[in-house]
Amino acid sequence: MRRVLTIVLFALLPFVATAQMVIGGSEQEVEQSLRKFNQFFYYLDALYVDTVDHSSVTEEAIRAVLAELDPHSAYVTAEEMVDVENEFSGSFSGVGIEFDILNDTLSVVSTIAGGPSEQLGMVAGDKIIAIDSESAVGITQNDVRKRLRGPKGSVVELDVVRRGMKEPLRFRVVRDDIPIETVDAAYQIAPNIGYVKVNRFADNTMDELREAINKTGATEGLILDLRGNGGGLLTQAVEMGSFFLPAGKKVVSIEGRSVPKTNYGSELAGDYSKPRLVVLIDSSSASASEIVSGAVQDWDRGVLIGQPTYGKGLVQRQIPLSDNSAVRITVAHYYTPSGRAIQRPYENGKAEEYYIDHVRRSVDEHYRDSVNQNLPAYRTLNSGRTVYGGGGVEPDLYIPIDTTRNFAYWSALSGAGVINELVNVYLDEERGRLERRYPTFEAFVEGYSLPDDFQQRLIDLGEERGVAYNPDKVGNSLSDTAYLLKALVARKLWGTTEYYRIVHANEDPELDMAIDVICSPERYYELLAPPAE
């Protein structure tokens, strides 16, 4: 598998590193610091009373140095790099199943369409009892990944117990490339209006987005959901921004002490530069998401709805180290087309305060207003609307978070794994009956409701897992979230698009507003018009 040499947002930029390369302090200062550290390490190894774990000490030293810098420079272990490469390359080599571990048993939750396991006939509900003749009972999540993933073309044998069959089945699975999809959901939400939710920016994101738009029949407009999207590859953010913009429009520029100012955009008009566009954002929309939403706003190309974004306007370069680990070092700031810096204020070495500030901005409107009152103002490039820099991207239509609903008990059950476990057990028992009774998703939406005893089963399993049930504190939270349980059942039966369709139909004020705006051309263009004199 190729190495992912990225700038984390992420971006691919030229980088040359040599032992003699000194950009900051003088070469003499760098040599003195290295000599001092080498002396320390030598005497630590030679004189310390106990044996020193050199690898661990070195890693902690790197982390300690980075902790004194900005909050986004970071160290990535060799083990973590494997997952990073898979995530941003858009695929890995494996058997193609989604799994869960229930009562020490490895269960197949679903098979990936077209993947090697599905092609051999494995189905949801199968229990994997052995991997290459070695028992899988009591296996951990990490061990499952290690043993099921491997080089493309290699073979793994899985022994499977299936409901209704007396003897275990043996599957000889040839590992193949398994896509990691970045589009969570795509469907037509109104006549000729598409909805697409993108969870991150990876190598395959734009291919997925184009396919999703074609699938949804979004000829008149698109709702692009970037809520919860923490970013990814700069190259994909630039391509997505260009996809929505007319010819010759800048998407973003980056600049740093060692990185000359560079503008990114496209000379050609984007394939989706004319239909109406609404972008949903929230406090977890960061980095690459902010590049796209900032460009859309600066060029008055679409309407942003939701809450202010995270405010991560720093660019990290990911540099591989000799043991396959890596460091991500901040090398530049990025700026929207109008010149806005999106990065929130921070102090080097104070990452904890930085993240606390993010939480407070997310939940406390008064706090956010107080820290944002002196932000620099800019003008959008077509209509001259006022926008602000230095604190994330502000939506054109702000929808406050609903803090009146009580999700604490639901969150506790979910965090303890109770909800996922019970839904999986329920489907293990009822999948066949449900598939026969509801052959289509539409039939499921129309006719399905949770069993009468499901809520009590949740409460009982929660008590077993240490989640206490107090009716006075819980209130109506379980009945209020019944639609989420129905959505989870739909996800296990059909997929994430069907999950979101049920969620959206029950509770999503930002999406409701987006539909109202995009389905009303008069209101849509009024929001993007120049301010009245």
Active site residues: 287, 298, 312
**CA pair distance 421, 424, nearest whole angstrom:** 5
| Tokens standing for residue 519 | 């389905």
Half-sphere exposure of 518 (CA within 13 A, CB side): 32
**CA pair distance 495, 506, nearest whole angstrom:** 18
Name, in order, each residue with C-beta under 8 angstroms of 488's C-beta and a sequence gap of 6 or more: 419, 420, 423, 499
SS3 for 7-67 is: EEECCCCCCCCCCCCCCCCCHHHHHHHHHHHHHHHHHHHHHCCCCCCHHHHHHHHHHHHHH
| Tokens standing for residue 48 | 């310390």
SS3 for 380-442 is: CCCCCCEEECCCCCCCCEECCCCCCCCCHHHHHHHHCCHHHHHHHHHHHHHHHHHHHHCCCHH
Beta strands in 152-302 (DSSP E): 155-161, 169-174, 176-179, 183-190, 193-198, 221-225, 232-233, 249-255, 262-266, 276-281
Q: Going by DSSP bridges, is the β-strand pair 74-76/326-335 parallel, antiparallel, or unpaired?
A: antiparallel
